Amino acid sequence: MSTQTIGWIGTGTMGLPMCGHLLSAGYSLAVNSRTRSKAERLLSQGAQWCETPAEVARRSTTIFTMVGKPEEVSAVYFSDDGIFSGLQADTVVVDMGTTPPSMSAEIANRATELNAHAVDAPVSGGDVGARNATLSIMVGGDEAVVESVRPMFECMAKSIAVMGGPGSGQHTKMANQLAVAGTMIGVCEALVYSAKAGLELDRLVAAISQGAAGCWTLDNLAPRIIQGDDAPGFMVDHFVKDLGIALAESEQMGLKLPGLDLAGRLYQQLQQLGHGQSGTQALVHAIKSLEELDSAKQD
């Protein structure tokens, strides 16, 4: 059992089980979250509550953050009671949320100024991967620093890919979200099409998942779509945020990505339909609404 104290900030759908795996591995945890009640399960298992991110920083030698919007990430790190106001020299801060690569660079620069280290390590795998410790982690940062936190990553993930310097993990996550968005459109449209054609959807998924269409989304989210289960593994509001980051980064690089633009518009429409707190698989409702609108126009 390790005597090292790990800091953890953010105990939502993803952060709670991820932090729990570190507790189960024997690490001592200092925890902060915007809503204390969401950390109660961890506290009952021995984690210690901290009132602010700065307090977490004062207690910890490695600090993980798993928070949502860029402004929330900025507050956790840069506010008066944020991590950097209490950070000790040689501490490693690890941002595991999806953050603009430019902000990851800012975090890394500030950590360096304080004689500390920063790693960006966004994840993929949704709530299932977080619960089962089978996440994929995409890492940017100094290789030696990354290796120092690898044992902790291994408590949460089945795949750890080191992609380069600061921001590289976040750029990789943007590529991941681009692929996920396109795949989700395809899966939802396949199900809407098959339902219209009178096919039995469970059998349809079983059939096409064995061929070239086989993918994580078919295996894990198509059954939820068929069952009408919109519960979030990854919330639409968060995905819209991620796609917005990808769009902004693409524009800065002079890229025009029509699939990303389409996905962004479809997910914004899904928000307008009241599904911001639903899982990304709820995209099927936006596609159905377009089909119903088209049918109404034809009538």
The pLDDT value given to residue 233: 84
Instruction: Give me the CATH number covering residue 267.
Output: 1.10.1040.10
CA 130 vs. chain centroid, Å, equals 10
Q: For residue 115, with 0-12 CB atoms within 10 Å meaning exposed, 13-18 middle and 19 or more buried, which class applies? A: exposed
Domain limit, last residue, from 136, 164, 192: 164
- Assess whether 152 and 10 both reside in one domain: yes
- Assess whether 95 and 218 both reside in one domain: no
- Assess whether 142 and 22 both reside in one domain: yes
- Assess whether 284 and 208 both reside in one domain: yes
User: How does the average pLDDT of the chain come out, rounded?
Assistant: 94
Instruction: Give me the CATH number covering residue 44.
Output: 3.40.50.720
Structure-block tokens of residue 174:
């943007």
For 197-231, write each residue's pLDDT tens digit.
Answer: 999 999 999 999 999 999 999 999 999 999 999 99
- CA dist 51 and 37 (Å) reads 13
- Assess whether 185 and 293 both reside in one domain: yes
- Assess whether 105 and 78 both reside in one domain: yes
- CA dist 203 and 209 (Å) reads 10
Catalytic residues: 173
pLDDT grade for 296, boundaries at 50, 70 and 90: very low
- Assess whether 218 and 244 both reside in one domain: yes
For 84-141, write each residue's pLDDT tens digit.
Answer: 999 999 999 999 999 999 999 999 999 999 999 999 999 998 889 999 999 999 999 9
- Assess whether 121 and 141 both reside in one domain: yes
The pLDDT value given to residue 298: 52
- Assess whether 112 and 249 both reside in one domain: no
For 136-187, write each residue's pLDDT tens digit.
Answer: 999 999 999 999 999 999 999 999 999 999 999 999 999 999 999 999 999 9
pLDDT grade for 3, boundaries at 50, 70 and 90: low
Classify each residue of 260-275 as buried b or exposed e, where b means 16 or more C-beta atoms within 10 Å of its C-beta.
beebbebbebbbeeeb
The pLDDT value given to residue 295: 53
- Assess whether 180 and 219 both reside in one domain: yes
- Assess whether 175 and 157 both reside in one domain: no
Radius of gyration for the alpha carbons in the chain, expressed in angstroms and rounded: 20
Q: What's the structural domain count of the chain?
A: 2
Domain limit, last residue, from 145, 164, 183: 164
Residue 196 sits in which domain range? 171-298
pLDDT above 70 coverage of the chain, percent: 96
- CA dist 295 and 224 (Å) reads 26
Domain limit, last residue, from 164, 197, 222: 164
The pLDDT value given to residue 264: 97
- Assess whether 153 and 221 both reside in one domain: no
